[in-house]
Structure 1
Amino acid sequence: MTIVLSIQSHVTVGAVGNSAAVFALQRMGVETWGLPTVVLSNDNARAHVAGPALSTDELRAILDAMAGNGVLGRVDALLSGYLTAETGPVVLETAARLKELNPSVLYCCDPVMGDEDKGFYVPPEVRRFFGEEAVGACDVLTPNLFELGALTGARPETLTEVVDAARELVDAGPATVLVTSVACRDLPGDRMHMVAVERDRAVLVSTPLLEAAFDGSGDLTTAVFLANRLGGADLPEALGRTAASVHGVLSVTALLGRQEPALVEGQDLLVDAPAVPAYDL
């Protein structure tokens, strides 16, 4: 069985970070071990938030115990999302450690830093970590459009500029860059677009734009894309399936009037939604 170690935030209420990724991956048939960087009551969109961040010593102790029990070598992929400045280096240590045990381990990094409507919501040291260290260490990188600009120092406004910026990141390390939310002046504004780029290929997929804002959609998208790649799907198939599943879950979420992905109600769409057509660029 395929196993993912997912290191990111955990919330008690809601579906962001590991609270989205673990459920989605397991529903898609991928055994997932969630290791939290922070344990919070909920995400920051709510008025009140409480909970601790795990220290580097605590994270390392958990990982050491896993190693001592002989289970780290069973991991097939590492997934990281929301990180603190202190926990970022532990993730890279873990990626190196896993690859020593199994060179085929895939490291998928969601560089959670901010978005277009909120700007940055992590401190500068976390942004530096992603730009200077994580990009060069990961195999799959899944920024949104805002994060793509932050990592490249560009502000892509056309599809060509998005592909060029993503390819700049591919040149820096990851084999695949998935830009999870693309809005450009030369693409239809009534649709949500995603672009996946590898060294010799770029693929576009589009779904109808939902008139709602969601928290945790990027976390869900990364998890679903990773599950599809681990399942053997090539780039267009993985992107088409991911777009269909995420759009399906978010459509259910919108109908229910919620802001965080309605994973339980929409869970069958994670595995059964017909793939959206993907187009080579």
Structure 2
Amino acid sequence: MAIDVAGQSTMANGGTASRTGNYEIAAPHLSRILSIQSHVAFGYVGGKAAVFPLQCLGYDVDVVNTVNFSNHSGYRRFGGTKTTAAELSQIFASMEENGLLLPSRLLTGYIPEAKALTAVYDLAKKLKSKTPELIYLLDPVIGDAGQLYVAPDVVPVYRTMLSLASIITPNWFEVEVLTDIKLSDLASLRLALRKLHTEFHVPNVVISSIPLKPWLLDVLPAQLRPAPPFPNTEDPGYLLCLASAARTDDADTRVLSTIHARCVPLIPGYFSGVGDLFSALLIGHFHFSSIPPSAHPSNPLAHATSSALHKTHLMLQLTHEHAKTLPEDERLPTDEEKDAMEPVRRFKRMRGRELRLVQGQDIIRSTEIGELGAMDVWEGFWEA
């Protein structure tokens, strides 16, 4: 998107975005997003973590809830219902019959069961057939740290859906599940990305968080490594965010994609909804924010990822600082045994670390990208 002399920003898809001070607002006629993901009454995960930020960026957001729960599962106790495949299909059909199925962008997140996910898959196919330029960000919410959040039969449906996506935002564990490749060295990371790009035909892959284990730290170029000393040599306390945009030119057939990366320091404590917020900010900025000529030329994925990473980290810092001001009994450390005996310990801790989205809305609206979130090129990634 380029800025013209009239003070408007021309978007990559042909629309415009108005600028007011340090804020950027999407053009209303090209900015409707259909969000299909979970809903909670209290707190900020799923759609509750995604819709408000997208609205702050100027998007109209149509919302379909895949579950309706009281709160996120980190509280251990929650109530509510899952939306069935038949109910989802009925909602989609009614929207279409009434002429209300008009998204220019599609965002999908947590969908716990295969039949429901298949209904979403059918909708995505229909939308892509009708509007080939539809930007579809698929967040394959499968699990984390070796634990599945969904039924196992969801995984093959996701593999079928990947070719429809413009962008996917798996974490490291979800990459392993989708590709059947354990990320244990640079060769396996290359192999997993190659499979996502060539076998599953995903043009843009953002691995939102890879623990910076020694094998990964050792292969990172110097400009991408965080500065030591590290608190723990086995786990330096950083995550790596990696963006891989498939190459469309034939300048070097050995280079499958352009890789950008950034190490981000971990913030202590338990947070929920971080991936949902990150994915929303990513689709909100993809082919949207102005890209200075010197920064990531011809790579809107790197710029969008930089924006999303920067804002997500600032939101976590804001939430963490708030949590430190709470009464001591709401800042108790995690202790599974004590939590089981006194569930109120967990309730208070979870409640105090819900994302501070409303309080941080200026962060969401800002057009600045701090040094922490700026993605750098990983030169030589594909070299043997």
TM-score, normalised via structure 2 length = 0.69
Percent of aligned positions that are identical:
30
Say whether 1:45 aligns with 2:140: no
Per the alignment, residue 271 of structure 2 pairs with: 214
- 2:85 maps to which of 41, 52, 56: 56
Letter in 2 for 1:113: I
Aligned partner of residue 55 in structure 2, secondary structure = helix
**5+ long unaligned stretches in structure 2:** 1-27, 218-225, 227-235, 247-256, 292-299, 324-351, 379-384
- State how far apart, in whole Å, the 1-side matches of 2:103 and 2:91 are: 15
- 1:100 maps to which of 129, 132, 139: 129
Per the alignment, residue 190 of structure 1 pairs with: 237
Say whether 1:119 aligns with 2:213: no
- State how far apart, in whole Å, the 1-side matches of 2:69 and 2:268 are: 28
Per the alignment, residue 256 of structure 1 pairs with: 322
Letter in 1 for 2:50: A
Output aligned runs, 1:30-41, within 5 Å: 30-41=59-70
Q: Deviations over 1:111-143 (max 9, x none)?
A: 111111x61121211122223x12233221110
8 Å contact from structure 1 (residues 11, 19) kept in 2: yes
8 Å contact from structure 1 (residues 7, 37) kept in 2: yes
Say whether 1:205 aligns with 2:262: yes
Per the alignment, residue 294 of structure 2 pairs with: none
Say whether 1:148 aligns with 2:180: no
- State how far apart, in whole Å, the 1-side matches of 2:35 and 2:98 are: 18
Q: Deviations over 1:22-56 (max 9, x none)?
A: 11111122211110011111111113211111122
Per the alignment, residue 278 of structure 1 pairs with: 375
- State how far apart, in whole Å, the 1-side matches of 2:100 and 2:189 are: 39
Aligned partner of residue 74 in structure 2, secondary structure = coil
Give the structure with higher Rg (CA). 2
Deviates more, 1:143-152 or 1:223-232: 223-232
Aligned partner of residue 167 in structure 1, secondary structure = helix
8 Å contact from structure 1 (residues 204, 280) kept in 2: yes
- State how far apart, in whole Å, the 1-side matches of 2:35 and 2:164 are: 16
Aligned partner of residue 239 in structure 1, secondary structure = helix
Per the alignment, residue 25 of structure 1 pairs with: 54
TM-score, normalised via structure 1 length = 0.93
Per the alignment, residue 310 of structure 2 pairs with: 244
- State how far apart, in whole Å, the 2-side matches of 1:167 and 1:15 are: 34
- 2:285 maps to which of 228, 232, 235: 228
8 Å contact from structure 2 (residues 310, 374) kept in 1: no
Say whether 1:8 aligns with 2:105: no
Per the alignment, residue 79 of structure 1 pairs with: 107
Deviates more, 1:239-248 or 1:163-172: 163-172
Quote the offset at 1:162 in angstroms. 3.0
Quote the offset at 1:175 in angstroms. 0.9
Point out 4+ residue stretches in structure 1 off by more than 6 angstroms: none
Q: Deviations over 1:167-209 (max 9, x none)?
A: 3212212111110111132335233321011222111022222
Q: Deviations over 1:181-240 (max 9, x none)?
A: 111323352333210112221110222221122111111111111111041561221111
- State how far apart, in whole Å, the 1-side matches of 2:305 and 2:187 are: 18
- State how far apart, in whole Å, the 2-side matches of 1:123 and 1:27 are: 33
Deviates more, 1:98-107 or 1:17-26: 98-107
- 2:99 maps to which of 70, 79, 92: 70
Per the alignment, residue 268 of structure 1 pairs with: 362
8 Å contact from structure 1 (residues 166, 179) kept in 2: no
8 Å contact from structure 2 (residues 128, 164) kept in 1: no
- State how far apart, in whole Å, the 1-side matches of 2:287 and 2:108 are: 16
Aligned partner of residue 73 in structure 2, secondary structure = coil
Letter in 1 for 2:321: L
Deviates more, 1:55-64 or 1:145-154: 55-64
Per the alignment, residue 204 of structure 2 pairs with: 176
Distance 1:205 1:101, change over 3 A: same
Backbone CA RMSD of aligned residues: 1.7
Aligned length: 278
8 Å contact from structure 2 (residues 261, 377) kept in 1: yes
